[in-house]
Amino acid sequence: MRGLNLDHLQAFAEVVRLGSFSAAAARLNLTQPAISQQVGQLERKLGVKLVERMGRRAMPTAAGAELLEHTARLDGAVAATLESLARFASGEVGRVRLGTGATAAIFRLPPMLRSLRRKLPELEITIATGNTSDVVKAVQDNALDVALVTLPVSGRNLEITPVLDDEFVAVTAKDGVALPARVTPAVLARLPVIMFEPGGQTRLVTDQWFFQGGVELRPKMALGSVEAIKRLVGAGLGCAVLPKVAVQEPGDRRSLVVRPLSPRLYRKLAIVVRRDKVLQRGLRETIKALRELRSTAP
């Protein structure tokens, strides 16, 4: 690190992550010329070109991509150093950026976060939700520290730890379409079905279940929100295949009928973190709490 300016490294990383000098400037509360100057100084220091423009987007060169890998490790090491020193002054335990899907954020994380907050009241936790592919990319880019996502997931620099199996069930309104005691793909193929929108792992898992049952389902509607799907089902507009954990509130039991699927359908949730991630205390405790989800799963 001799002679390297950490601010210049941060400026470079933000330009690459956001694909724009102006966006990086806004993110770091600097002017665009200041960001350009910092990246230029870093390139002159290292003697290589780090960023090139592809149309309107700033992209890393081969050397820039290599540096980005090291920058992520340096960022973690610096954060860990600052955290260790901060403990002597204020007891600060740092910040954790956690990514997950919307369903897990609503129904899996609140009890875990409540317990974690009791243990580490000073820990700053930010939650980002999105599709598995987007969340995993954010972990790889060091924009998120850890993720809880639906498998399958791959990445040569990722540590992937399966945590729990999330069961799916068939759901209909109490005064809606009737469902048998056990629901097969063939049964649902004859009914109006509301599905998750395409593009996410949850939709992929359910599509595979129908395919293996010899059914090519054409849903009547597709939405990205489990709560929106529940509302439409409750209004009698169709039935749905949803994670069991999402239909266990008292209000759900009053308005919905839940049936098991045949064959049973599960999605596997896993913790994803970079292999080279420096595990600060707050991040260590967050990962530990995520691993304990398997013992509290309904």
238 φ/ψ sector (left φ>0, alpha ψ -120 to 50, else beta): left
Do 166-267 and 93-163+268-296 fall under one CATH topology? Answer: yes
Q: Residue 176's closest CA among 223, 250, 251, 240?
A: 240
Alpha carbon 7 to chain centroid, angstroms:
27
In this prediction, residue 296 carries a pLDDT of 55
What pLDDT does 1 receive?
46
Which of 292, 298, 294 minimizes the C-alpha distance to 114?
A: 292
Q: What is the pLDDT of residue 91?
A: 44
Q: Considering the entire predicted model, what is its pTM?
A: 0.68
- Level-2 CATH architecture, domain 93-163+268-296: 3-Layer(aba) Sandwich (3.40)
Q: Kindly report whether the peptide bond that precedes residue 192 is cis, defined as omega within 30 degrees of 0.
A: no
Predicted confidence at residue 84, as pLDDT, reads 64
Q: Residue written as tokens 């098991």?
A: 260
Structure tokens at 139: 């972990």
Euclidean distance between CA atoms 125 and 283, whole angstroms: 10
CATH fold, domain 6-84, is Arc Repressor Mutant, subunit A (1.10.10)
Q: Residues 178-184: contacts with CB within 8 Å, 24+ apart?
A: 179/239, 179/257, 179/259, 180/259, 181/259, 182/259, 182/260, 182/261, 182/262, 183/259, 183/260, 183/261, 183/262, 184/213, 184/261, 184/262
Per-residue CA distances from 73 to 46, 137, 184, 256, 292 (Å): 18, 16, 48, 48, 27
The domain locations on the chain are 6-84, 93-163+268-296, 166-267
Looking up tokens 């954020």 gives 105
Superfamily the domain 166-267 falls into: Periplasmic binding protein-like II (3.40.190.10)
Please answer whether residues 119 and 260 qualify as being in contact, where contact means their C-beta atoms are separated by less than 8 angstroms: no
Q: Which residue's entry shows tokens 């992520």?
A: 72
Angle among Cα 162, 262, 174 to the nearest 5 degrees reads 105
Peptide bond preceding 185 in cis form (omega within 30 of 0): no
Mean pLDDT by 10 residues, the chain (298 residues): 76 90 90 91 90 88 87 76 60 79 92 92 90 93 94 90 94 90 93 90 91 88 90 92 91 89 95 90 92 71
Beta partners for residue 259, in sequence order: 170
